[in-house]
Amino acid sequence: MSITITFRESVRYAISDAMEQDERVFLLGEDVGRYGGSFAVSMGLLEKFSSIRIIDTPLCESAFTGVGIGAAMNGMRPIVEIMTVNFSLLAMDQIVNNAATLLHMSGGQFGVPLVIRMVSGGGKQLAAQHSHSFENLYAHIPGLKVLTPASVQDAYDMVILALRDPDPVLIFENSLLYNSKGILDKTKTPLPIGRAKIEKEGKDITIISYGISVFKSLEASKILAQKGINAEVIDLRSLRPLDDETIINSIKKTHKVLIVDEGWKSGSISAEIMARINEQAFFELDAPMGRVCSKEVPFPYAHHLEQAALPQIEEIVALAEKIMEEL
Distance, in Å, from the CA atom of 41 to the CA atom of 277, rounded to the nearest integer, reads: 37
The one-character DSSP state at 31 is T
Residue 303 a catalytic site member: no
Question: Read out DSSP for 67-130?
Answer: HHHHHHHTT-EEEEEESSGGGGGGGHHHIIIIITTHHHHTTTS-----EEEEEE-S-SS-HHHH
Residue 130 a catalytic site member: yes
Catalytic residue among 9, 30, 81, 130: 130
- Report the length, in residues, of the chain: 327
Give the alpha-carbon dihedral of 241, 243, 247, 248, to 10 degrees: 100
Catalytic residue among 9, 30, 61, 272: 61
Q: Which residues of 189-216 are buried (b: 16+ CB within 10 A; e: fewer)?
A: eebebbebbebbebebbbbbbbbbbbbb
**Residues annotated as part of the active site:** 61, 130
